[in-house]
Structures are given as C-alpha cells and as structure tokens.
Amino acid sequence: MGRPPCCDKVGIKKGPWTPEEDIILVSYIQEHGPGNWRSVPTNTGLLRCSKSCRLRWTNYLRPGIKRGNFTPHEEGMIIHLQALLGNKWAAIASYLPQRTDNDIKNYWNTHLKKKLKKFQSALDPHMASDSTKSFINERRSLEIITPSPSLSLSQSSTTYASSTENISRLLEGWMRSSPKTNNKILQQNTNSGAMDNHQAYQLKAEQDGGHGGGDLVSHEEFESILSFENLNNAAWDKSTGDSMPGRGSQAAANDDKVHVLPEKNKPRSDNNTTPPLSFLEKWLLDESAGQVEEMMELSPMF
C-alpha cells in the first residue's frame, strides 16, 4: 500500500501561481500564521495542494526573502557550505536566511557548478575530476595565514528586496489587470479582517488611480504589514505550537544570530558527516567567507 497523496488530486490546480492566489494566500497567512498547511486550501478556497501553498509561501511570498543577484559573499558561502555539507540546501539556506533553499539550489546548479568546474580545470587540467571539497580545503590552508576581516551577515544585504516588495509589485500589476475581481477580493478581505487597513488603503488607492505612476508601497509600510511581528501577533502560535517551521524562524531571528541552526533545519540524522555547527559557524563567519570571495577574484573567469 502506497502512501496516500497529500491531497485529493482531482480539481487541484497546478502550474504558476496567479497574483490573485498569492493575495489570498498572503492574506490568510497574515491572519492565521503559517503552518497547518493541510487546512489552507480548504479555508481559503484555493484550488491548490497544501504542499503547493507551503512551497509558494516559503519560496516566494514569505517576508525577508532576498531576490536577485547573489553577492560574491553569498556565492562564497554557498560554495563553502556545499563543499562541507553536500547538497543539503536547506542547511545551507539556514546560513543565508534571506535566500531560499530552492534559490540556492537553482543558483548552484545553474551558476556555481559551472564556475567551479571551470576554475578547477584552469587550476590544473588533471584536477578536473577532483572534488570541490579538496579544492576548498586547499584554498583554506592557503588563506588561513591571511585572515579576512570578520563578516557579519547583515552587511551582505544592502540591496535588500523583500517579498513585501514583490507583493507590492504584484498588487500593482494585479490591480491594473483585473479591477473587477480585485474589488471583490478587496471587499472580502476587508470584511473578513484578513486584510489590514493599509492593504485595503493601498488597493483602494491603486484602484482610484491615486498612484498614476505605479509607485510601490513604501518598503517600511509594507514591511510592517507582513512583518514577523504582525505574523506573530496574528496567530503564530496558533499554527502548531511550533515557531515558524523551517527557515521562517530563521528569518525572524535574522538579526545577528542567523547562524544558529534550528533543530528542524539541522541536517538529517543520517548525515553523519556534518561537522559540529559551532565549528562551521566560526569558520564560516570569522574566517572563510572572505576566502572564497578572494578565490573568485583570483580567477578572471569568475
């Protein structure tokens, strides 16, 4: 007997999410907090599987996600962590809380893998088959005598583009495309309290043409709507008694202690090769992040 599907496949919508669906999901989570994904499709009327809702939230909609180009520092962290942990994208993502595991995985597969391959072949054609790990270790032994300045993760995020901005953009485009539907949802959400005053105001303003130029909601304003404080206030602990599962709680604790890996994010117990985290933390944050950066600079092809 196989495992039953996570949801009834009949009538389940697949494929890219529409702005309308995003709004509904965000509104719901804002009110109830993330978690209990099983009930999300039922309670929202979304024709999506619970997994799909969770994925959409964690990979795209949740606050604190940084999108766009990876900085050299981030690249370095990923290369380093991949060499240490292997393809444990969630574990790697916990060290880069503004990035999702999916993003990191995609970036690795589309960019970094090639870069490293090139770099390895350039170093020594015979080395092409050597593992990234040995390469990194070699670099480490070379660089350890020239320690880099300490790095704080916060400094890597000057070009912060949170999902709140994504959503505000989304709202912007959405309002233009289907004002009728939007009016309906606006009313529903406003009535149900799922949308707060600011959101309602924003939608209304857009509809009234008040933002002719298509200005975005100010970052601070929108951030406050979807901030973790709000989510916490809303119903965080209602969900499962958990703090936000997975990387969310990381983002919430994203100030200066991001390198504390939550229990659920720790590599699975079958991965016994993972070095102690304290070691990793120290190494990555104090020492090595800059090393790979330098490595990038060393090679004209990076």
Partner DNA sequence: AAAAGGATCAACCGCCACTAC
Partner DNA sequence: AGTAGTGGCGGTTGATCCTTT
Among the listed residues 74, 75, 103, 196, the single contact to DNA using CB under 7 A: 103
Written as six digits, the tokens of 186 are 């606006």
- Confirm or reject binding of residue 264 to DNA (CB under 7 A): yes
CB of 5 to DNA, least distance (A): 8
∠286-290-295 over CA atoms, to 5°?
145
Which DSSP helix (H) or strand (E) runs through 267?
none
- Confirm or reject binding of residue 82 to DNA (CB under 7 A): no
- Confirm or reject binding of residue 140 to DNA (CB under 7 A): no
- Confirm or reject binding of residue 3 to DNA (CB under 7 A): yes
- Confirm or reject binding of residue 35 to DNA (CB under 7 A): yes
Among 52, 47, 51, 44, which residue's Cα sits nearest to residue 26? 44
Longest dimension (CA), the chain: 67
Instruction: In whole angstroms, give the CA distance from residue 26 to residue 31.
Output: 9
User: Are residues 37 and 7 in contact, defined by beta-carbon separation less than 8 angstroms?
Assistant: no
Q: Is 204 exposed, middle or buried (0-12, 13-18, 19+ CB in 10 A)?
A: middle
Written as six digits, the tokens of 254 are 């994203």
Among 219, 221, 214, which residue's Cα sits nearest to residue 199? 221
- Confirm or reject binding of residue 169 to DNA (CB under 7 A): no
Instruction: In whole angstroms, give the CA distance from residue 250 to residue 278.
Output: 16
Written as six digits, the tokens of 240 are 């499962």
Among the listed residues 247, 280, 284, 292, the single contact to DNA using CB under 7 A: 247
Residues contacting DNA: total by CB under 7 A: 51
Which CB, 32 or 139, lies closer to DNA?
32
- Confirm or reject binding of residue 17 to DNA (CB under 7 A): yes
Which CB, 198 or 266, lies closer to DNA?
266
CB of 142 to DNA, least distance (A): 29
Among the listed residues 142, 268, 297, 301, the single contact to DNA using CB under 7 A: 268
- Confirm or reject binding of residue 97 to DNA (CB under 7 A): no
Among the listed residues 71, 102, 218, 274, the single contact to DNA using CB under 7 A: 102
Which DSSP helix (H) or strand (E) runs through 22?
helix 19-32
Instruction: In whole angstroms, give the CA distance from residue 255 to residue 263.
Output: 18
Instruction: In whole angstroms, give the CA distance from residue 41 to residue 56.
Output: 13
- Confirm or reject binding of residue 184 to DNA (CB under 7 A): no
Written as six digits, the tokens of 104 are 């990191």
Among the listed residues 158, 191, 269, 272, the single contact to DNA using CB under 7 A: 269
- Confirm or reject binding of residue 80 to DNA (CB under 7 A): no
What is residue 193's three-state secondary structure? coil
Among the listed residues 4, 11, 125, 213, the single contact to DNA using CB under 7 A: 4
Phi, psi of 179 (to 5 degrees): -60, -30
CB of 267 to DNA, least distance (A): 7
- Confirm or reject binding of residue 109 to DNA (CB under 7 A): yes
CB of 12 to DNA, least distance (A): 8
Residue ranges binding DNA (CB under 7 A): 1-4, 6, 13-17, 35-38, 48-52, 54-56, 58-60, 67, 87-91, 101-103, 105-107, 109-111, 240, 242, 245-247, 264-265, 267-270
